């Protein structure tokens, strides 16, 4: 999975928003990101010169093919489609943005799941010329469903290529109403819809004169107005231990600490904690970051916790507040997005990676499979899941796990399944 190290981002108080563009093939996702980068002055002159001379340029004359700013693979440029997730960064005085450009083709839905797993905002693009009658494409439904399952809090629907639809208000309203019906059926409570032309920049960074009937903000203003603050600080403490820090082990005053990244909640000296799954309790003496002693830490901070006594804590354990421990168990119900080309085999064992813990698991039953086209769950003779399928399963694990609901604590409510023989990631799971 691709990752962004935020320690390399400029320092300051400006909040970081992670967003993903999603939708069907040729809806204009890469072009929209390229336009955002270009209009926010985040593209270097040599990059513009390179794409102007690119042999796969698909824009006539001296126009800029903005899609080439994100479609970096040779196969992507040759075929004119996005295959892998491309990450780009740009900033405004109000916000910093990390953008994931996800593939639209159904074959690469698993790549979209990867990019969406860390997103705060999903920008769902819809081609106005292909949905002018109000019929949404299957990938629009699929990506919207995945965004809902992954708990992305902000959904923005950009009705693109409105210039090719003659800026017809009736077309926009039919698509808006169709998406409102989709959102109601899959459980998206809040979303915004706006008309855009990614190629020409209408309603992307600045308002368009072609849409006097649209009274909302352009896309960039809308993105900057969203609140990216994580709810993790207000959730119960979950501190997955990554490794045990030892110094001067031969000394009577040797140092022992437990390092990790706080998934949710806050950690302060004096807190009484429970080591899970064992249930052992202790009290926090210090919270350290490198060579500094902190007064406290919150979700997203990487710290070392020092306890008041030696207890059995190892990689894979989770520190929780003694007053609000997590539920622990070996049997779980989860929603799986199947990513492997090999279908799910209930007779096989899989490795299960949950936070910092690695264990083995078996899928006892595939309860339902979600039909993306009909937006319903099929519960008869399911048996297995194939690539890009989404289904509800029952899983038994060798070791006890923290069983937080994904909607409550995403970091400890998510896991991946790994094929034991190939070590390929087989599925992404969410505890329900």
| Domain ranges for the chain | 16-225, 238-321, 327-431
CB 77 within 8 Å of CB 9: no
Per-residue model confidence (pLDDT) at position 216: 93
Stretches where the chain sits below pLDDT 70 are 1-14, 41-86, 103-110, 228-233, 248-253, 372-376, 380
Q: How far apart are CA 365 and CA 382, in angstroms?
A: 9
Nearest in space to 122 (alpha carbons), one of 94, 96, 98, 157: 157
- Which CATH number among 1.10.1740.10, 1.10.40.50, 2.40.30.10, 2.60.40.2700 corresponds to the domain 327-431? 2.40.30.10
Q: Hey, do 238-321 and 327-431 end up sharing a CATH topology, with the first three levels equal?
A: yes
Q: Which of 295, 213, 217, 310 is nearest to 255 (CA)?
A: 310
| The pLDDT value given to residue 58 | 52
For the record, the structure tokens of 1 come out as: 């999975």
Surface-to-core class of residue 205, CB atoms within 10 Å of its CB (0-12 exposed, 13-18 middle, 19+ buried):
middle
User: What local confidence, expressed as pLDDT, does residue 339 receive?
Assistant: 86
Counting other chains too, the contacts that 244-250 makes at CB distance below 8 Å and 24 or more residues apart are: 244/313, 244/314, 244/315, 245/304
Radius of gyration of the chain, Cα coordinates, nearest whole angstrom: 24
What's residue 237's pLDDT? 94
Looking at residue 2, what is its pLDDT?
37
Instruction: Output the CA–CA distances (angstroms, integers) from residue 393 to 350, 364, 403, in the order listed.
Output: 14, 7, 15
> CATH class for domain 238-321?
mainly beta
Tell me: the pLDDT tens digits for 24-43?
A: 877 788 788 878 877 776 66
Residue 34, pLDDT score: 79
Query: For domain 16-225, which architecture applies?
Result: 3-Layer(aba) Sandwich (3.40)
299 is written with which tokens? 């979700």
Cα–Cα distance between 259 and 257 in angstroms, integer? Answer: 6
What DSSP designation does 160 have? E
């Amino acid at each position: 999975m691709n990752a962004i190290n935020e320690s390399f981002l400029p320092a300051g108080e400006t909040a970081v928003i992670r967003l993903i563009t999603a939708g069907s093939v040729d809806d204009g996702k890469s072009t929209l990101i390229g336009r955002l980068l270009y209009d926010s002055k985040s593209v270097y002159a040599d990059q513009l010169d390179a794409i102007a001379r690119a042999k796969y340029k698909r824009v006539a004359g001296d126009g800029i093919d903005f899609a080439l700013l994100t479609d970096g693979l040779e196969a992507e440029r040759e075929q004119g489609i996005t295959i892998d997730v491309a990450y780009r960064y740009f900033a405004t005085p109000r916000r910093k943005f990390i953008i994931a450009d996800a593939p639209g083709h159904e074959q690469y839905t698993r790549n979209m799941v990867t990019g969406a797993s860390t997103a705060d905002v999903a920008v769902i693009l819809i081609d106005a010329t292909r949905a002018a009658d109000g019929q949404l494409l299957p990938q629009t439904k699929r990506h919207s469903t995945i965004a809902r399952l992954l708990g992305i809090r902000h959904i923005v629907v950009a009705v693109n290529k409105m210039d090719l639809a003659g800026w017809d208000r009736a077309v926009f309203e039919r698509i808006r109403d169709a998406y409102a019906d989709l959102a109601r059926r899959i459980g998206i409570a809040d979303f915004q819809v706006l008309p855009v032309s990614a190629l020409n920049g209408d309603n992307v960074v600045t308002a368009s004169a072609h849409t006097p009937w649209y009274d909302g903000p352009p896309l960039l203003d809308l993105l900057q107005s969203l609140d990216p603050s994580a709810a993790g600080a207000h959730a119960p403490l979950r501190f997955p231990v990554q490794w045990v820090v030892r110094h001067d082990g031969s000394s009577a005053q040797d140092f022992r600490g437990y390092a990790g990244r706080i998934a949710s909640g806050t950690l302060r000296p004096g807190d009484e904690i429970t080591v899970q799954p064992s249930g052992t309790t202790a009290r926090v003496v210090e919270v350290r970051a490198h060579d500094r002693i902190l007064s406290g830490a919150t979700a997203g901070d990487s710290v070392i916790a020092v306890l008041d006594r030696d207890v059995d804590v190892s990689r894979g354990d989770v520190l929780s507040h003694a007053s609000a421990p997590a539920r622990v168990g070996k049997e779980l119900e989860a929603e799986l997005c199947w990513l492997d080309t090999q279908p799910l085999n209930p007779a096989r064992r899989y490795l299960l990676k949950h936070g910092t813990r690695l264990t083995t698991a078996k899928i006892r039953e595939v309860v339902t499979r979600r039909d993306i086209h009909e937006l319903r769950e099929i519960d008869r003779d399911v048996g297995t899941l194939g690539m890009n399928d989404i289904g509800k399963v029952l899983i038994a694990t060798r070791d006890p796990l923290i069983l937080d609901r994904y909607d409550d604590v995403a970091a400890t409510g998510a896991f991946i399944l790994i094929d034991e023989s190939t070590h390929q990631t087989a599925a992404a799971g969410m505890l329900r």
